């Protein structure tokens, strides 16, 4: 894989780094999120709202793996969704490579996600009717990359995750660990600066989970990785662990 330093995300209205040190790959500043708040940012409506996050702040630099720990319901997935721009928090800023996602239109936010973020889910989210290779190539279709290049790039990524000989297999013909490695190859295929993983070993046995963690460790050498988990083995590959309780950060330790 190529070596690189994080670049300014390319939103036309993206802001420059405020100065002082390198631009963080990810910077969360005072994130609060209420589900069920009517009308989105800044307004809430009565007793149907759930406050999922309260005043959450932390950074991730390129080359860092940050673990996100906390019991079920503590807000881990909500943070990951905010980092991917799939969710705009009720308050606070989410900066990727110096650009505040919360100020962007949906279209620009989506563009930044597609260019700069790779996502790995607990249940893999592979399309069952597509081969491993076609699943890996899918983000390149959205990016408008020609078919022959897509195929070549997907093959390369599958080789990197140790599945070069499985590229034409369907997900149903692969083991859980192999499926998760396909999902990781798919997350990497656009060469993103940031990888977000939600309980990536949650469905795997220990040995298979360890393979996936080795892969995450490799990925984290040059990219920013945010991995949510309540599994000690997963958290042990992190350079730093942010601990959540009831939507608040209670510790952030290396």
Give the pairing type, strands 240-245 and 65-69. Answer: parallel
Sheet holding 65-69, edge to edge: 117-120, 194-198, 224-228, 65-69, 240-245, 248-253
Residue 68: CB minimum distance to ligand ADP, A: 8
Q: Binding to Mg ion by residue 234, rule CB under 5 A?
A: no
- Reported as type and span, the H/E element at residue 69 is strand 65-69
Residue 70: CB minimum distance to Mg ion, A: 9
| Residue pair 195/225 in contact by the 8 Å Cβ criterion | yes
DSSP type of residue 165: G
The footprint of ligand ADP on residues 39-68 (CB under 6 A) is 50, 52
User: Nearest CA to 179 among 204, 210, 154?
Assistant: 204
The footprint of ligand ADP on residues 2-41 (CB under 6 A) is 35-36
What does the alpha-carbon distance between residue 100 and residue 27 come to, in Å, rounded to a whole number? Answer: 9
74's contact among ligand ADP, Mg ion, none, with CB below 5 to 8 A by partner kind, is: ligand ADP
- Reported as type and span, the H/E element at residue 48 is none
Q: Binding to ligand ADP by residue 76, rule CB under 6 A?
A: yes
What does the alpha-carbon distance between residue 171 and residue 81 come to, in Å, rounded to a whole number? Answer: 25
Nearer to ligand ADP, 36 or 164 (CB): 36
Q: Binding to ligand ADP by residue 78, rule CB under 6 A?
A: yes
The footprint of ligand ADP on residues 215-254 (CB under 6 A) is none
DSSP type of residue 41: T
Nearer to ligand ADP, 17 or 57 (CB): 57
Q: Binding to Mg ion by residue 84, rule CB under 5 A?
A: no
| Residue pair 224/25 in contact by the 8 Å Cβ criterion | yes
From 31, 37, 69, 74, residue interacting with ligand ADP (rule: CB under 6 A): 74
Nearer to Mg ion, 1 or 50 (CB): 50
52's contact among Mg ion, ligand ADP, none, with CB below 5 to 8 A by partner kind, is: ligand ADP
Nearer to ligand ADP, 203 or 222 (CB): 203
CA torsion angle 213 218 219 220 (round to 10) = 90
Q: Binding to Mg ion by residue 77, rule CB under 5 A?
A: yes
User: Nearest CA to 213 among 189, 194, 195, 193?
Assistant: 195
36's contact among Mg ion, ligand ADP, none, with CB below 5 to 8 A by partner kind, is: ligand ADP
Residue 73: CB minimum distance to ligand ADP, A: 4
Binding site for ligand ADP (CB under 6 A): 35-36, 50, 52, 70, 72-78
Binding site for Mg ion (CB under 5 A): 76-77
């Amino acid at each position: 894989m190529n070596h690189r330093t994080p670049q300014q995300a390319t939103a036309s209205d993206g802001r420059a780094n405020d100065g002082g040190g390198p631009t963080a790959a990810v910077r969360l500043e005072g994130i609060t999120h209420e589900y069920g708040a009517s009308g989105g940012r800044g307004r809430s409506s009565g007793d149907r709202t759930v406050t999922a996050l309260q005043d959450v702040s932390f950074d991730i630099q390129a080359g860092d793996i940050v673990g996100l720990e906390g019991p079920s319901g503590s807000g881990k997935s909500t943070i990951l969704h905010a980092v991917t721009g799939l969710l705009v928090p009720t308050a606070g800023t989410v900066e990727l490579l110096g650009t505040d996602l919360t100020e962007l239109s949906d279209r620009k936010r989506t563009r930044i996600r597609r260019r700069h973020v790779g996502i790995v889910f607990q249940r893999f989210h592979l399309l069952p009717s597509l081969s491993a290779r076609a699943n890996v190539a899918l983000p390149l279709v959205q990016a408008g990359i020609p078919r022959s290049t897509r195929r070549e790039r997907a093959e390369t990524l599958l080789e990197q995750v140790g599945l070069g000989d499985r590229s034409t297999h369907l997900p149903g013909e692969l083991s859980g660990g192999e499926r998760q490695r396909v999902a990781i190859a798919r997350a990497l295929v656009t060469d993103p600066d940031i990888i977000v993983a939600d309980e990536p070993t949650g469905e795997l046995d220990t040995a298979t989970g360890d393979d996936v963690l080795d892969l995450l460790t490799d990925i984290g050498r040059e990219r920013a990785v945010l991995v949510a988990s309540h599994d000690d083995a997963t958290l042990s590959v992190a350079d730093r662990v942010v601990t959540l309780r009831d939507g608040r950060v209670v510790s952030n330790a290396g």
